[in-house]
Structure 1
Amino acid sequence: MTLHALDTQSKEAELDAWMREEQEKARARRAKLKYPVRTIQELSFLPKPKNWLVKGLLAQGETSAWIAPPGGMKSALMAELTMCVANQQDWHGRKVDSCFGVVYFALERSDLVHRRLMAHCERMGLSPEDREQMAVMICPGMVDLTAADCVPHVLRSIEELSHEYGIGPALLIFDTFAKLIAAGGGDEDKAKDQGRVFANIQRIKDAVHGPHVALVGHTGKDESRGSRGSNAFLGDVDVMVSISGDQIKTATVVKANDMAEGPLFSFKSIVHEFGLDEDGDPITVNIVSAEEVATASPSEREPKLTANQKTMFAMLHDAGASGLLTEDWNEKARQAGIGIKRRADLTDIRTSLKSKGLIREMGDRWTVRH
């Protein structure tokens, strides 16, 4: 080897040693930051696969919202989800890879939640020994998640799952979102009150290694406008599912970060009988039926539209395959007299058309689903 080659190798070795030293200094410096940062070079080129609870739908570390009008079976659906996740059973055709821990915060009607879970235990044929292995806990108290000092108390309740079963929770259900705000005198219509709740939800997720948080919410008086209260709710969840229908309910994804929007699955309710009371009358509870129900396509469901919804849909349809940017669509709507007095009407109409599976959004461009 020549002296020149040796000299080159020596310089390269010195450079490598210097770079490693600088990287170590940088890591040590960042470790002291209250708000840690990472360079893009430190990120993996290929993103890691998600840790799924329910494959392709519910991932750990994310937040979902399940909204429906009163009596829309949203809480019944969460009871069924609890049992499937805790017992490694597929949920409406989607794979559950393991038995996960669940903490169900039943802020209202906790006795109804309990009856539904027991009904599913009976229908699944679970023995008392099987039930003892299920890592499921119900918290029936009111929880004020608008207050940061509530978080340590919530965490202590969650920790009981680990003490009892030896595993941490992978799913936290809060039923209902409205009560999380109302418990502290907050207003569901105020974005700032919703913001406090979501900030505290993130603190909880960070403290217990990123469980999935499922929020049960209500639609407004006009179901077509989506969730009740401030529309900030829509922006703070990773997945929002709207439940609608009479005899047959359909769960429809109206917002998602990493999956297609549109109909998810359909289901029916069934009355489960536990036995008879002292008067000989049946003791019953309404739960989600295990019967498979085909999901109707948007064209088969023939969604009902208001006059303004029809007008805005027609505008987008006439734009063809290229669709319309949000502001261009807003301008056309305003020229037609829509959204002049209340700008939020335009957002509400778009949300409704999405929930009915009629339109889609890519970036800031909207197109009709064909």
Structure 2
Amino acid sequence: RLEPLESIFLEDDCAKAHIIKGIFAWGETSAWIAPPGGLKSALLASAAISIALNQPWFGRRAPGNPVGVVYFALERADLVKRRLIAHRRKMGLPESHPIPIVVQSGMLDMMNPATVPMVVEAVERAEKYFSQLPECHCAGLLIFDTFAKMIAAGGGDENSAKDQGRVFANLQRIKDALGNPHIALIGHTGKDEARGARGSNALYGDVDVLVTIGGDTIKTATVTKANDIPDGPLFSFASEIIEFGTDEDGDPRTVNIVSDEDISSQSERKSAEPKLSTNQRVMYRLLSDAGPTGLTMEAWNDLAKENGIATKQRHYEARMALKDKGLVREYAGVWRVNG
């Protein structure tokens, strides 16, 4: 039967609670998509740091206490850790200063309901660590990098709305079990960036906020779908290379992170970087992410193929163009980024 009218009045405390105002809300799911090399993972690492330290992110405040972040790095977990370390060192925080972020590596078959308790248990273990830190007692943000890997691990097809639906049903089960944290998914655009996320269009209906990232030297994060914030540009950002010590051979250890420099002053300066095609940009980013150890030509080609550059001819053309521009070099069969 119908409830009394008094019990269904909307109260002021029904307003949405945010972890980062206007972007990351409790209980919601966001998707952050970009082409390969588009800094989507670097951007979410930056968000993780801001949320864990209860600091503003691109001018948007964190309204509450610090909350923990669990980053499920389904690929390249070491790179995620290097980025977080680079942020810590750039901020001047000593290693003794605890930050409530846990990076969880390994594959997850998110089409399988049996994976749900595994994820919940991993987050609860992280929360035991978070509870020992000042003011932080729970995980508020779960990052899954990448969405495609979550489907592929179970033999699914990201072009299938049914397979995507199974993943989102399991993500909801995870949120229900953990008190409704925010889930952020990292994904890829298709070959035609203008058409948005790769795979089934079901993604648009299953997330609360969809952000696409595009641009060359200066990137712009743009809301293309949201429940209750306007579509359009969120903010622009650039990247920077951070050096933090040397490896066992004395070579500098570097990683590419999102810069916190005022983008308005950056955009006024003409970039000194040569203009790169999409393939050149992807291959340069892959080699840059490999750090000072570099990559063999075969390993570089394999990564390029995984990231959508299909043929060896295109690998060769992009590689030679980068070499001609003075951006990469080869020595003893290993390719490295210059500078």
Q: TM-score, normalised by structure 2?
A: 0.74
Q: Match of 1:170?
A: 140
Residue type at the aligned position of 2:145: D
Shift of 1:165: 2.1
Question: Quick one: which amino acid aligns to residue 284 of structure 1?
Answer: T
Equivalent residue for 2:163, pick from 193, 205, 212: 193
Partner of residue 269, structure 2 = none
Residue identity opposite 2:264 in structure 1 = A
- What CA deviation, in whole Å up to 9, does each residue of 1:134-174 have, x standing for no partner? 22111101011100111011111010122222222100000
Shift in alpha-carbon separation, 1:148–1:273, aligned structure 2, 3 A: same
Q: Of residues 73, 76, 93 in structure 1, which corresponds to 2:42?
A: 76
Q: Secondary structure at the match of 1:178?
A: helix
Judging changes above 3 Å, is the alpha-carbon distance between structure 1 residues 220 and 40 closer, same or farther for their aligned structure 2 residues? Answer: farther
| Cα deviations by residue, 1:277-336 (Å, 9 ceiling, x for unpaired) | 23332110000001121399xxxxxxxxxxxxxxxxxxxxxxxxxxxxxxxxxxxxxxxx
* Residues matched between the structures, number: 259
Q: Distance in 2 between matches of 1:39 and 1:195?
A: 35
Query: Relative to structure 1, is the Cα distance of residues 214 and 41 closer, same or farther in structure 2, using a 3 angstrom cutoff?
Result: same
- Cα separation, 1, equivalents of 2:215 and 2:153: 30
- Separation in 2 of the partners of 1:58 and 1:226? 21
Deviation at 1:46, TM superposition (A): 3.8
2-side partners of 1:158 and 1:38: how far apart?
A: 37
The corresponding residue for 1:263 is: 233
Unaligned stretches of 5+ in structure 1?
A: 1-25, 27-36, 297-370
> C-alpha offsets along residues 58-99 of structure 1, whole Å, 9 cap, x if unaligned?
100000000000000000001000000000111000001321
* 1:75 alignment partner AA: S
CA distance in 2, matches of 1:153, 1:295: 46
Q: Select the structure of larger CA radius of gyration.
A: 1
* Corresponding residue number in structure 2 for 1:102: 69
Contact kept? 1:250, 1:295, Cα under 8 Å: no
Match of 1:149 in 2: 114
CA distance in 2, matches of 1:224, 1:197: 25
1:286 maps to 2:256: yes
In the alignment, what sits opposite 1:16?
none
- Three-state SS of the structure 2 residue aligned to 1:196 is helix
Q: Give the stretch that moved more between structures: 287-296 or 242-251.
A: 287-296
Distance 2:206 2:17 in 1: 20
Structure 1 residues 69 and 38: CA distance shift in structure 2, 3 A: farther
8 Å CA contact retained: 1:251, 1:263: yes
Structure with the larger helix share: 1
Gaps of 5+ in 2: 132-136, 267-339
SS at match of 1:294: helix
**Partners in 1 of 2:44 and 2:187 — Cα distance?**
12
Aligned to 2:58: 92
Give the corresponding residue for 1:160.
Answer: 125
Task: State yes or no: 1:125 paired with 2:92.
Answer: yes
What is the match of residue 23 of structure 2? 57
Instruction: Give yes or no for contact 1:168–1:208 (8 Å, CA) kept in 2.
Output: no
Q: Counterpart of 1:51 in structure 2: which amino acid? A: A
Amino acid at match of 1:221: K
SS in 1 for 2:264: coil
The alpha carbon displacement at 1:179 in A equals: 0.4
Asked whether the equivalents of residues 244 and 250 of structure 1 are also in contact (C-alpha less than 8 Å), the reply is yes
1:128 match: secondary structure: coil
Q: Which has the higher contact order (CA 8 A, sep 6+)?
A: 2
The question of whether the paired residues in 2 share the 8 Å contact of 1:263 and 1:295 is answered with no
Please tell me whether the aligned partners of residues 265 and 295 of structure 1 are also in contact (alpha carbons under 8 angstroms). Answer: no
**Could you say which residue in structure 2 is the equivalent of 1:112?**
79
Match of residue 307 from structure 1: none
- Give the drift of 1:125: 1.1
Residue 23 of structure 2 aligns to which amino acid in structure 1? Answer: L
Deviations 1:20-50 (A, max 9, x none): xxxxxx8xxxxxxxxxx97775223245121
CA RMSD of aligned residues (A): 1.8
Residue 214 of structure 1: SS of its match in structure 2? strand
Name the residue aligned to 1:335: none
Q: Which amino acid aligns with 1:112?
A: L
Partner of 1:274 in structure 2?
Answer: 244
* In 2, Cα distance between equivalents of 1:215 and 1:39: 40
Instruction: For 1:242 and 1:234, locate their aligned partners in 2 and report how far apart those are by CA, in whole Å.
Output: 12
User: Is 1:245 aligned to residue 210 of structure 2?
Assistant: no
> What CA distance in whole angstroms lies between the structure 2 residues aligned with 1:239 and 1:43?
27
CA distance in 2, matches of 1:74, 1:115: 15
Cα distance in 2 for residues equivalent to 1:172 and 1:264: 21
